[in-house]
Amino acid sequence: MSMVETEVEKPAAQGAAMEITVSRQELVKELTATQSVVERKTTIPILSNFLLEAEGDRLNIIATDLDQAIRTSAAVKVKKAGSCTIPARKLYDYVKLLPDGDISIKLLENHWVQIRSGRSNTKMVGMARANYPQVPEFPAVSVTSIPSAALKTLIARTVFAISNEESRYTLNGALLVLKAESLAMVATDGHRLSFVEKPGEALEGISGEKRVLIPRKALHELQQLLSNTDADKVEFADDEHTLFFRVGHRTLSSRKLSGQFPNYEAVMPRDNSRFVVVRSSELASAIQRVAQFADERSGAIKLRLESNELKISSQSTESGESEDTIDTPYSGEPIMVGFNSGYILEFLKSLGNEGEVRLEFKDSQSAGQIRPEDPDAEYRSRYVLMPMRI
């Protein structure tokens, strides 16, 4: 057998077929949507790659870190159907630097991939398609449609309260509660709890109540997908091990968090009868000023209710002390409670620092509660905070 014949036979033997043309703009858009899932510091090299699959007139782009995966697609001209894997970060960074226009991507021998655009010609070292892990497919049954805007709001008002302690496994996500007439989400780290509900939202395919624990990482990915879509619905489904969210032509799948989420209803304060109502923006500004002088480690500030005033104060031996006063109707017994300033600011920020909030207390040792003061609000939010000893 001559050398020429050997060369001709090699591509067929390795299945080196894929060849496509795609617009740079379209490709960058889809790579941007998927690249955040790619594992940066992986011990499994193939997870640093995108899987590209060309068939019909679409290029499927898949990224996974084994815990979650994103599958998206772009319109392309397929000269030869096929698939390959290609270093994700390198491809993303390179394609962003190319001028607008068409890009041709072609699979060569030994998993090398050629990328051409205008006068630019680059070859990247890929890896065998056969080594890429299997990514679960979106189930065909038991699909629920959730309004995109509602899901986006639920995530924004809870994701900051999720625990960062990996050992507290069931607190490393938020609980999504779906009912036929409402949807709600709740997250807690043991020091605070954020609950938000959207009543009067008819959900098809839900009878009774369905509770789903969504990992923090998946919620951050969902936030990104929801921020970059004009789809007004998210299709949600799950199986025994995996959660699936389809946002337009993009699908996020995530491994389920196992375990029992705490009974959050039990920690909701029932008899916090002392309260004041203040403007969110005014409260946030006062706390930001006072927190400059709080203990750096704890961020602790004092809230004191007395005759028609809410006093916010802090002090530390290193930086000094500070006090701000907000005028607000109050005629009850004076009360002083300590809280983590950062926790309050995160909740106010999730409300957009807009409108008024009601601060509710029982005594200086019991959990406080903050909620928006708007009976006609589309969403019902409750934020429970454990007090600090100061």
Q: Tokens at residue 42, please?
A: 């992986």
Q: Which of 148, 164, 177, 199 is nearest to 346 (CA)?
A: 164
Per residue in 113-167, pLDDT (tens digit) is 999 999 999 999 999 999 999 999 999 888 899 999 999 999 999 999 999 887 7
- What span, in angstroms and rounded, lies between the C-alpha atoms of 182 and 266? 20
Q: Which of 207, 211, 205, 234 is nearest to 141 (CA)?
A: 205
- What span, in angstroms and rounded, lies between the C-alpha atoms of 310 and 171? 33
pLDDT value at residue 16: 52
Of 3.90.470.20, 3.10.150.10, 3.50.40.10, 3.40.50.11540, which CATH number belongs to 144-264? 3.10.150.10
DSSP 230-290: --SEEEEEE-SSEEEEEETTEEEEEEPPPSPPP-GGGGS-S---EEEEEEHHHHHHHHHHH
- Residue 259 neighbours by CB under 8 Å, 6+ apart: 169, 170, 213
Q: Is 213 within 8 Å of 175 (Cβ atoms)? A: yes
* Domain layout of the chain by residue ranges: 3-131, 144-264, 268-385
Per residue in 217-238, pLDDT (tens digit) is 999 999 999 999 999 999 999 9
Handedness of CA 262, 265, 266, 269 (dihedral sign): positive
Asked whether the predicted pLDDT for residue 340 surpasses 80, the reply is yes
- What span, in angstroms and rounded, lies between the C-alpha atoms of 381 and 118? 54
Per residue in 87-121, pLDDT (tens digit) is 999 999 999 999 999 999 999 999 999 999 999 99
Q: Please state the length of the chain.
A: 390
- pTM of the entire predicted model: 0.89
Residue that the structure tokens 């909740």 belong to? 347
Strand-pairing partners, residue 174, are 214
**Whether the domain at 144-264 and the domain at 268-385 fall into the same CATH topology:** yes
pLDDT value at residue 40: 76
Q: Which of 197, 117, 223, 106 is nearest to 381 (CA)?
A: 197
- What span, in angstroms and rounded, lies between the C-alpha atoms of 144 and 146? 6
Is domain 268-385 annotated with CATH 3.40.50.10800?
no
Ranges 20-29, 178-187, 204-213, 264-273: which has the least confidence = 204-213
- What span, in angstroms and rounded, lies between the C-alpha atoms of 160 and 248? 26
What's the CATH code, domain 3-131?
3.10.150.10
